[in-house]
Structures are given as structure tokens and as C-alpha cells.
């Protein structure tokens, strides 16, 4: 679009007022320094009444916003306007900003020529969109280890799905896919696979799986919700056909996500939503019906007023991570992973959950269970007695967690109970997940390890009760 005004790419970088804390990075962060995130100074109450700095160790669910992202959004907010078709300056500025955000995401993902970026609400929305765009008769392949967002949309859309058993090594995963595709009849095929498990954090052999899929004429969509915040992702190098991720896991929690990749299936499909923005023309026919011509390209699946601030927040996060340097970010995170795994290995009562073995490469996500502890009870004690936020449950990956826990993991009774996700007649199952990222200080990991050791050795200092499904501190234990 041609503007008679300065382009927002220039305007926002040089002339928009900045928030007091700034927003334009002045230097690349030191390799061992965490990135600045919101909430790093928040004080939370303990059961004792004291307050302590909150240790956010639930990044896999939603990461805190980067300060850079917040500042960029705050600087843009007074200039917010409707996008596409508005004649006023703010509308044109917002339109240019929205489309520049699309290009920034394309560069961040290293897309191929002809690939497109569609802004969605989150990974779940992205994969449901693609499920509706898959040609009729397509057979979908997915390992049972997937998050529900990548496990469930395909059958929900009426497609035939082949669920593959949880592999116990990366080589086994590739071999299982190879065998399944070799047996599949002719016709379109699609593999949906995660880049990093939201339960174990383990990295999957995406390039090898993609090569195998393509050799059998299958396409690949990569769920990068847990991968993109931790590692550089290149669609061009990996060869995947599509990629999906969420802004709220990429330090941009403003309700937006991305589906990016090949255009053909998306352009041939019915629009994801019917409405304004997706239409080229709408006209009444002589018989009283309405004739519609739909756009091709991203607009086809972005009906309605888009989440401009969400898209801009994602683009800001992409720039911030790129400028910080993934090599430095990955090195620092690996140091925290090594410290965490070594510290937990020193506690015999802790069992870390792995698919591919204890030494398998992973991002900063790890799940475990503690002998003689119900996981909901243990997580509540971490919060109430140490100010540490983790997650407990089955993590929207029920088949995987059931497989990992197996029959040899004893269930511990507790007044707190566990999330109501058990099958009829099944013992109560849940685990604890700790996750971190570019904004995590060393102290949070050290505090977590200290807390685990103390709870295992001495027990909780407080009694806990179930209150509305949550485990809450009730009274201090005697003795």
C-alpha cells in the first residue's frame, strides 16, 4: 500500500513517544543475563503472611511479556486504528504496521518464497484452521504424544487419523512414521508433529520426520508452540510445509497466534470464517441469493477486525529474540537445564518423565512426580510456602502423561486430590511441570531446587485442603 505519510516502520521507530521505561534496545543483552520481562519484581504472599518475589516457572503455559514487547505496544496504542480500507492516517498507519508485522514474522520463521503468514488466536486456532483447509480424503498421522491442540483437530474436522504409539527414541519415531506411511493408500497425507514436547521438553527429530514424510508424498505441519520461544526455527531448513505457534508462549501475551507456510491448500479451502475482510465482492443475485468472491492469501482466513496489537506484539517479540541472539539464549537456557536436571537427580524421591531417555536434548520444560506426594499437593506447597509457580495435571496431553506415568508410578492420596481427568476405574494421575525461558533468573531455579529438597526431606509446613478444586494452605502443621 502506498502512503502519502511516512511509513509506520519509520514512524514507530523514530517519532512515536516511548513509555518511561523505554522500549528501543540500546545494546544486545549479555549472554548470561535474562531478558527483561514484566512481573520480575512482583511480590506474592506466602501462607505465613510474608511476601516474596514471585518465581514464575510456568513458561510452557504462558510466558511473561518481554518488557520490550510491552513498551512497543504501549507506544503504538495511542495510534491504534482500524486496518484495511480506512482513509485516515491512524488507519493507514495501523494497516502498514499490521502488514509489516506479517513480514517480520515471515523473516523470523525463514519462510520460503510464496509462503504466507495467517494471524490467528493461538496454536489451537491455527491447527483447527489448517484442519478445515485440508483436502477431503486426506489421511492425517500424529503420534499419541501430541498436545491436544495438535492431536484433536483432525478427527474433529472429519478426517481419517492414524495415531502412532509413543516412541521411546527419536530413531523409533522416524521408523514408525516410515512404516505407517508405507502402508497408507494413495492420496493426500499430512503429518502433524511437535517440535518440543510440552510435557517433557524433549526435542523431536523434525528434519528427519519431514524428510521421511516427503519421501512418501506426505506434507508436514509443525506445532512449534514450545519450540519457537527457545530455539531458532527455519521453515526453509527444516522443510516443513506449515508451522503454528502462539504469541502468549513467545513473550507476547496479547491473544494472537500464527499459521505460516504453503499457500495452495489454504487458498483452495473455504474461508475459516465467513465475514468482512475475507470477501473480495458480495452481490445479490436475481434469484435472491448472495454471490461471494473470496480473497486468496492471508485475508481469506482473517475475516473480521484482526487483533492488530496481538500481531504487533508477536512481531516485537520476534525482533527482540532475534536481536538478543538465539545462540546466546540457548546457551544460557541449557545451563539452567543442566543445573535443574542435575539438582533433581540428587533427590532419589523425584522421578523425571522422559520419552527418549534422561540425557535427551530438551528445551526448558520438565515434568516429574515425587514419591509419596500427590502432585497437586506438592505444587500448592511450592506456591504457598516458597512463592514458586509451576503447573500440575496432565498438561492437555493426557495420552502422553498416562504413558509416561505407566503402572509403576504409585499414586499418592491427598486431601487436595488431582485434576478430574482420570478414566472410569483409573487411579488418579497427575504430574508436576516446571518450565522457564529467556526471562528466568538463576535464583528462581535455585529456589525451586531448594524447595523440592526441603519438601521431600521435611514435608510441608502447612496443612492443605481442597477448596473449589484448588489445593490451598489451611493451617500450620504442629511440631
Give the residue numbers annotated as catalytic, written as ranges.
396
CA distance 417 to 402: 17
Q: Show the cell assigned to 129.
A: 484452521
CA 245-230-18 angle, 5° bins? 80
Chain centroid, CA 6 distance in Å: 35
Q: What whole-number distance in Å separates Cα of residue 157 and Cα of residue 135? A: 11
Q: Which residues contact 198 (CB under 8 A, 6 or more apart)?
A: 60, 147, 225, 226, 365, 395, 396, 397
What residues have CB less than 8 Å from 327, skipping those under 6 apart?
A: none
Helices (H), 110-183: 123-133, 148-151, 153-156, 170-183
The residue whose grid cell reads 540425557 is 359
Our CA angle for 328, 249, 296, nearest 5°, is: 110
Q: Would you say the C-alpha torsion 216, 221, 225, 227 has a positive or negative sign?
A: positive
Contact (Cβ atoms closer than 8 angstroms) between residue 388 and residue 451: yes
Q: Which of 197, 261, 259 is nearest to 230 (CA)?
A: 197
Cell (9 digits) for 308: 492488530
Q: How many CB atoms lie within 10 A of CB 304?
A: 11
Q: Tell which phi-psi region holds residue 316, choosing left (phi > 0), alpha (psi between -120 and 50) or beta.
A: alpha
**What are φ and ψ of residue 154, in 5° steps?**
-70, -50
Q: Are 198 and 246 in contact (CB under 8 A)?
A: no
Question: Maximum CA pair distance of the chain?
Answer: 86
Rounded Cα distance, 476 and 291, in Å: 69
Rg (CA), the chain: 24
Amino acid at each position: 500500500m502506498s502512503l502519502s505519510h511516512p511509513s509506520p516502520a519509520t514512524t514507530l521507530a523514530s517519532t512515536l513517544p516511548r513509555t518511561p521505561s523505554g522500549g528501543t534496545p540500546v545494546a544486545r543483552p549479555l549472554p548470561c543475563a535474562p531478558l527483561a520481562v514484566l512481573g520480575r519484581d512482583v511480590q506474592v504472599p506466602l501462607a505465613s503472611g510474608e511476601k516474596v518475589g514471585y518465581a514464575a516457572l510456568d513458561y510452557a503455559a504462558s510466558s511473561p511479556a518481554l518488557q520490550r514487547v510491552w513498551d512497543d505496544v504501549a507506544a503504538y496504542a495511542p495510534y491504534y486504528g482500524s486496518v484495511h480500507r480506512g482513509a485516515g492516517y491512524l488507519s493507514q498507519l495501523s494497516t502498514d504496521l499490521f502488514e509489516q508485522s506479517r513480514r517480520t514474522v515471515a523473516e523470523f520463521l525463514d519462510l520460503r518464497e510464496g509462503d504466507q503468514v495467517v494471524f490467528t488466536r493461538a496454536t489451537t486456532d491455527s491447527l483447527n484452521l489448517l484442519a478445515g483447509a485440508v483436502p477431503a480424503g486426506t489421511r492425517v498421522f500424529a503420534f499419541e504424544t501430541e498436545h491436544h491442540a495438535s492431536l484433536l483437530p483432525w478427527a474433529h474436522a472429519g478426517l481419517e487419523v492414524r495415531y502412532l504409539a509413543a516412541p521411546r527414541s527419536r530413531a523409533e519415531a522416524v521408523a514408525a512414521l516410515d512404516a505407517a506411511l508405507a502402508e497408507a493408500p494413495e492420496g493426500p497425507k499430512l503429518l502433524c508433529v511437535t517440535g518440543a514436547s510440552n510435557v517433557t521438553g524433549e526435542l523431536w527429530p523434525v528434519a528427519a520426520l519431514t524428510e521421511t514424510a516427503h519421501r512418501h508424498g506426505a506434507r508436514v505441519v509443525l506445532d512449534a508452540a514450545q519450540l519457537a520461544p527457545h530455539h531458532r526455527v527455519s521453515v526453509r531448513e527444516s522443510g516443513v510445509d506449515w508451522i503454528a505457534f502462539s504469541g502468549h508462549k513467545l513473550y507476547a501475551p496479547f491473544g494472537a497466534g500464527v499459521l505460516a507456510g504453503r499457500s495452495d491448500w489454504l487458498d483452495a479451502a473455504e474461508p475459516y470464517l465467513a465475514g468482512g475482510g475475507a470477501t473480495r465482492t458480495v452481490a445479490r443475485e436475481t434469484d435472491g441469493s448472495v454471490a461471494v468472491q473470496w480473497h486468496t492469501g492471508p485475508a481469506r482466513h482473517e475475516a473480521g477486525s484482526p487483533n492488530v496489537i496481538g500481531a504487533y506484539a508477536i512481531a516485537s517479540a520476534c525482533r527482540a529474540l532475534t536481536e538478543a541472539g538465539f545462540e546466546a539464549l540457548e546457551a544460557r537456557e541449557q545451563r539452567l537445564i543442566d543445573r535443574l536436571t542435575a539438582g533433581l537427580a540428587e533427590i532419589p524421591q523425584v522421578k523425571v518423565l522422559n520419552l527418549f531417555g534422561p540425557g535427551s536434548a530438551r528445551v526448558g520444560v520438565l515434568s516429574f512426580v515425587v514419591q509419596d506426594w500427590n502432585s497437586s499437593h506438592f505444587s500448592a506447597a511450592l506456591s504457598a510456602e516458597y512463592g514458586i509457580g509451576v503447573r500440575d495435571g496432565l498438561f492437555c496431553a493426557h495420552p502422553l502423561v498416562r504413558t509416561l506415568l505407566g503402572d509403576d508410578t504409585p499414586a499418592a492420596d491427598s486431601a487436595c486430590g488431582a485434576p478430574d481427568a482420570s478414566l472410569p476405574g483409573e487411579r488418579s494421575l497427575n504430574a508436576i511441570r516446571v518450565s522457564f525461558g529467556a526471562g528466568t533468573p538463576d535464583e528462581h531455579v535455585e529456589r525451586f531446587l531448594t524447595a523440592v529438597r526441603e519438601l521431600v526431606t521435611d514435608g510441608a509446613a502447612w496443612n492443605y485442603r481442597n477448596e473449589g478444586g484448588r489445593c490451598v494452605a489451611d493451617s500450620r502443621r504442629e511440631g
